[in-house]
């Protein structure tokens, strides 16, 4: 019996190598995880250098934050173009274009002589990331179905969370030996590393979409009411995380007076908890039932916001203790949220994947802009974002689920 099972597994693996990726299923998952990690790598590797870059360019925090918020905005908008284009032209050509653009933009950032040129380079870098991330997520649905798709999404998210866990720590260590420019050279090398396996990937788009214009394709996909409702819910739910992302370096380094290395350790702890979330979903939370689980997620988010508001500014340990529950439950809900949204339609995988990433990043960009408005206490906007968004998501989810206003799995 075991021998038959082993033969069946080997046959399936050989078929996968022939149809999809020359090196097999597991290396393929690792490659997809690496592609999905481009955004956290691009943002988190140089986070410890942000305060130092303000001094180098003699610019305000608002301008320094534009290297993050402009990246997110560009990423969100260009994902729509790349995702819809990949439904017509195929996944591989879009991936190749995106990785090439990312590599060139990384070199431009490394050579920037003022903050405005750096922001421009970051916008182009984000455009390349938009292609990479939207297409890689579309490939997941092209290749995997049902529980295999869910397992793949969980694995990708766990592996992707390794990037924000180690990137700030690595960035802080590298700053001992190089300037912030060297960090962008490393991002250039990451793009080259992503290009190499692409030549061993088969085209996963089996049925190219019709020649509708990109905006018409996006409008058609958004015409699905179930997707549209879930998209709004899960997009606004990322706002507290994005608020933390843009504020964390200033909270720990400027507000609490920690070193860059200490900041990277606190940031890595939060990312480590985020990595545990999807694993706990598979092992435990998925047994709670969809309705109860997501209610619990949004309730924890709202309560964390309340505790952060009253106690989060007392010190770095208070802040992280009250933020970690939010991170754990929010990250554990992402595989379920992605599955729900991706299964609302049977086609247009590239466009759907692009909309998921784009809408989440647009909402996140709003929260990043709010947090960079110059609050004397940078903990307060993060706390308010968590409390208000958690309460709003709880109400929205209860209405959607009680009335069954979406296609169930």
pLDDT digits (tens, 9 = 90+) for 154-188: 877 777 777 766 777 778 788 888 888 899 999 99
Cα distance between residue 320 and residue 313, in whole Å: 10
Give per-residue pLDDT as tens, 306-364: 999 999 999 999 999 999 999 999 999 988 999 899 889 887 888 888 898 888 878 88
- Asked whether the beta carbons of 399 and 232 are under 8 A apart, the reply is no
pLDDT of residue 11: 64
Higher pLDDT, 222 or 167: 222
Predicted confidence (pLDDT) at residue 294 exceeds the cutoff of 80: yes
Q: Is the pTM of this model over 0.85?
A: no
Average pLDDT value for residue range 249-275: 86
How much is the pLDDT for 193? 92
CB count within 10 Å of CB 3 equals 7
Interval 78-91 mean pLDDT: 88
- Cα pseudo-dihedral 307, 312, 316, 321, rounded to 10: 0
Does position 3 have pLDDT exceeding 60, yes or no? Answer: no
Mean pLDDT of the chain: 86
Instruction: Give pLDDT tens digits for 105-148.
Output: 999 999 998 899 999 999 999 999 999 988 888 888 888 887 77
Q: For domain 12-199+210-402, give its CATH number from 3.40.50.720, 2.40.160.20, 1.20.1250.20, 1.10.10.10.
A: 1.20.1250.20
State the pLDDT at residue 65: 81
Segments making up each domain of the chain, as ranges: 12-199+210-402
C-alpha dist (Å) from residue 221 to 56, 105, 125, 183, 215: 45, 31, 27, 38, 10
Q: How far is CA 405 from CA 228, 230, 233, 254, 292, in A?
A: 10, 9, 12, 45, 17
67 and 118 in contact (C-beta within 8 Å)?
A: yes
Cβ–Cβ under 8 Å, residues 328 and 280: yes
Predicted confidence (pLDDT) at residue 409 exceeds the cutoff of 80: no
Taking a C-beta distance cutoff of 8 angstroms, is the pair 357, 134 a contact?
yes
Rounded average pLDDT over 47-67: 83
Share above pLDDT 90 across residues of the chain, in percent, rounded to a whole number: 36
Q: Which residue has the higher pLDDT, 39 or 319?
A: 319
Backbone angles phi, psi at 315, to 5 degrees: 165, 165
Distances (CA, A) of 286 to 234, 246, 267, 274, 275: 17, 31, 27, 16, 16
**Per-residue confidence at 22, pLDDT binned at 50, 70, 90?**
confident
What percent of the chain stands above pLDDT 70?
95
């Amino acid at each position: 019996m075991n021998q038959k099972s082993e033969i069946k597994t080997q046959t399936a693996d050989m078929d996968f190598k022939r149809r999809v990726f020359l090196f097999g299923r597991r290396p393929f998952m690792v490659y997809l995880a690496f592609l999905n990690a481009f955004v956290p790598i691009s943002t988190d590797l140089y986070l410890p250098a942000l305060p130092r870059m303000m001094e180098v360019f003699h610019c305000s925090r608002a301008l320094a934050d534009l290297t993050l918020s402009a990246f997110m905005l560009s990423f969100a908008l260009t994902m729509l173009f790349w995702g819809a284009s990949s439904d017509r032209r195929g996944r591989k050509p879009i991936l190749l274009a995106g990785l090439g653009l990312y590599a060139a933009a990384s070199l431009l950032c490394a050579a920037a002589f003022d903050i405005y040129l750096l922001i421009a380079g970051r916008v182009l870098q984000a455009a390349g990331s938009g292609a990479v991330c939207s297409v890689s997520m579309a490939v997941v649905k092209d290749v995997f179905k049902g529980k295999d798709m869910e397992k793949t999404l969980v694995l990708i998210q766990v592996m992707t969370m390794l990037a924000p866990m180690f990137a700030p720590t690595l960035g802080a260590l590298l700053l001992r030996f190089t300037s912030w420019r060297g960090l962008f050279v490393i991002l250039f090398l990451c793009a080259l590393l992503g290009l190499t396996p692409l030549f061993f990937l088969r085209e996963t788009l089996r049925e190219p979409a019709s020649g509708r214009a990109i905006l018409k394709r996006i409008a058609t996909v958004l015409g699905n009411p179930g997707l549209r409702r879930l998209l709004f819910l899960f997009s606004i739910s990322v706002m507290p995380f994005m608020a933390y992302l843009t504020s964390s370096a200033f909270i720990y380094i400027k507000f609490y007076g920690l070193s860059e290395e200490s900041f990277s350790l606190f940031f890595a702890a939060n990312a480590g908890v985020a990595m545990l979330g999807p694993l706990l979903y598979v092992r435990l939370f998925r047994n709670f039932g969809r309705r109860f689980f997501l209610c619990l997620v949004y309730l924890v988010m709202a309560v964390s916001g309340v505790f952060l508001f009253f106690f989060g500014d007392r010190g770095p340990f208070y802040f992280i203790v009250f933020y970690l529950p939010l991170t754990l439950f929010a990250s554990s809900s992402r595989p379920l949220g992605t599955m729900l949204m991706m299964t609302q339609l049977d086609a247009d995988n590239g466009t759907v994947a692009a909309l998921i990433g784009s809408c989440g990043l647009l909402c996140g960009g709003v929260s990043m802009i709010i947090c960079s408005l110059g609050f004397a206490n940078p903990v307060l906007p993060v706390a308010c974002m968590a409390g208000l968004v958690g309460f709003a998501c709880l109400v929205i989810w209860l209405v959607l689920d009680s009335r069954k206003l979406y296609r169930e799995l």
